[in-house]
């Protein structure tokens, strides 16, 4: 019996290196808008020197045992915590401007500061520590004390001597996708998804993994069963004999994932915008030496329109029929592709995950909801009082509405 889905996440501190890829234009197999793959020259990850390949884009590393030679390191300390917090460092290949501060050293007017907290810690010492970067830094930091965040490159902040819940604490950053294929187990420091084929174990397909620098929701299925709410690309090698059953294998990501894939069984795809990763299993004799997974990242690019749908985008009507004065009859939330959004003026929609869109003092704006499928990785937050720090914030501005509060309204994710 085939096992349709299998996935493993491996989060570690660091593995060094360099990945040569092209920043990419990809395609989605199997849809109406799919472009046929075009073969051509491309720079791809080389499997001949695995030690020279990176596991992350920023190559930021947390060390619980002193600074790392050859890197720029900033001390991450907490004098009131005796559990190993005297020799911890955040390191990067170059100086990225990180500054570690305690509450009594704030404010730092020229810096953006992210609180670094762990609720399981006794006392208040970990309620007042911050990691800061210059305002002009291109980095966007988000702290998570409950595991890595989907779609972000995350650095484990684990102090093994501290018993108070540090094993699931991460500093997360926006970063382009880095992808590597391994024919010999998961790659330390990356998020890895098992790509196996039980009917082709003789060809070496029992320990192969596709690994990324961030969790993008990858799923592998080898019996043709496609996960709900997913975009799936067939991974097919036509030279494989029928008994190895490579006709029903798919690589899937959530509909809202930025990653777009195109598989080629005849060399890397053409164009300066492709990133291509070679899927080589050397034990398989059936021409896997020219198989590549190519990809690009396309943000959802949510936009609010107060004057009808935006041409070329997937748009959801945002209406409130009782708010006649506010002209809420021609407003739309648009995205680069359909991710299953639905709008309700009469409460949350059963069977969906809904975010209340409320405006104080407005007619009819107490029971409106924006909903996503239950499997969606999108997590919306509504704000009536400006943007959320470290989130993408989409302004919900209706200039014709006489209530000025809408100029401070944002949908954040």
The C-alpha atoms of residue 69 and residue 40 are separated, in whole angstroms, by: 41
Token pair, residue 396, equals: 């919900």
The C-alpha atoms of residue 411 and residue 65 are separated, in whole angstroms, by: 41
User: Which range among 211-215, 228-232, 281-285 shows the weakest confidence by mean pLDDT?
Assistant: 228-232
Token pair, residue 11, equals: 């989060």
Whether the per-residue pLDDT at 50 is higher than 70: the answer is no
- Mean of pLDDT values over 8-12: 36
The C-alpha atoms of residue 376 and residue 300 are separated, in whole angstroms, by: 13
User: Of 59, 61, 54, 58, whose CA–CA distance to 21 is shortest?
Assistant: 54
- Mean of pLDDT values over 348-357: 97
Residue 53: the pLDDT is: 61
Say how many residues make up the chain.
Answer: 413
In 306-377 the beta strands, taken as DSSP E runs, fall at: 314-317, 332-335, 342-344, 353-356, 369-372
Q: What is the largest CA-CA distance in the chain?
A: 70
12, 153, 350, 406, 409 from 360: Cα distances, Å = 46, 37, 25, 10, 11
pTM, whole model, 2 decimals? Answer: 0.78
Cβ neighbours of residue 147 under 8 Å, at least 6 residues apart? 168, 170
**In percent, how much of the chain has pLDDT > 70?**
87
Cβ neighbours of residue 263 under 8 Å, at least 6 residues apart? 29, 37, 233, 234, 235, 236, 251, 291, 292, 293, 294
DSSP secondary-structure letter at 411? Answer: E
| Strand order across the 369-372 sheet | 342-344, 369-372, 353-356
* % helix, strand, coil for the chain, step of 5: 5, 30, 65
Higher pLDDT, 50 or 144: 144
Whether the per-residue pLDDT at 210 is higher than 90: the answer is yes
The C-alpha atoms of residue 275 and residue 261 are separated, in whole angstroms, by: 10
The C-alpha atoms of residue 287 and residue 291 are separated, in whole angstroms, by: 8
- DSSP secondary structure letters along 164-188: SSGGG-EEEE-----EEEESSSPPT
pLDDT in tens, 21-30: 222 222 233 3
Residue 124: the pLDDT is: 78
The C-alpha atoms of residue 232 and residue 365 are separated, in whole angstroms, by: 38
Radius of gyration over every alpha carbon of the chain, rounded to an integer in angstroms? 24
């Amino acid at each position: 019996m085939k096992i349709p889905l299998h996935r493993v996440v491996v989060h570690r501190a660091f593995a060094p290196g360099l990945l040569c890829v092209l920043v990419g234009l990809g395609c989605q197999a199997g849809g109406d808008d799919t472009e046929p793959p075009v073969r051509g020259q491309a720079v791809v990850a080389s499997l001949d020197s695995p030690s020279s390949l990176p596991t992350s884009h920023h190559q930021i590393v947390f060390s619980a045992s002193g600074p790392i030679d050859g890197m720029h390191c900033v001390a991450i300390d907490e004098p009131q915590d005796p559990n190993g917090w005297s020799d911890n460092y955040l390191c990067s290949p170059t100086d990225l401007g990180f500054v570690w501060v305690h509450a009594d050293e704030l404010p730092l007017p020229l810096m953006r500061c992210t609180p670094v907290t762990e609720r399981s810690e006794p006392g208040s010492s970990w309620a007042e520590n911050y990691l800061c970067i210059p305002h002009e830094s291109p980095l966007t930091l988000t702290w998570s004390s409950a595991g890595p965040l989907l779609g972000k490159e995350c650095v484990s902040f684990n102090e093994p001597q501290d018993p108070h819940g540090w094993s699931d604490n991460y500093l997360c950053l926006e970063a382009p996708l880095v992808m590597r294929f391994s024919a010999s187990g998961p790659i330390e420091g990356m998020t890895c998804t098992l790509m196996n084929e039980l009917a082709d174990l003789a060809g070496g397909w029992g320990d192969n993994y596709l690994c990324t620098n961030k969790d993008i929701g990858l799923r592998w299925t080898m019996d043709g069963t496609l996960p709900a709410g997913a975009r799936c690309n067939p991974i097919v090698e036509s030279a494989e004999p029928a008994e190895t059953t490579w006709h029903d294998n798919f690589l899937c990501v959530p509909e809202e994932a930025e990653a777009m894939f195109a598989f080629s069984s005849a060399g890397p795809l053409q164009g300066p915008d492709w990133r291509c990763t070679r899927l080589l299993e050397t034990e398989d004799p059936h021409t896997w030496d020219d198989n590549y997974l190519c990809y690009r990242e396309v943000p959802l690019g949510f936009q609010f329109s107060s004057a009808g749908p935006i041409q070329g985008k997937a748009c959801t009507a945002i209406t409130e029929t009782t708010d006649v004065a506010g002209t809420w009859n021609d407003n739309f939330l648009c995205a680069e592709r359909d991710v299953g959004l639905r709008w309700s003026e009469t409460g949350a929609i059963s069977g969906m995950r809904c975010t209340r869109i409320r405006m104080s003092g407005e007619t009819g704006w107490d029971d409106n909801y924006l909903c996503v499928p239950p499997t969606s990785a999108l997590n919306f937050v509504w704000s009536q009082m400006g943007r959320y720090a470290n989130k993408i914030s989409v302004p919900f501005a209706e200039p014709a509405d006489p209530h000025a509060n809408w100029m401070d309204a944002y949908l954040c994710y």
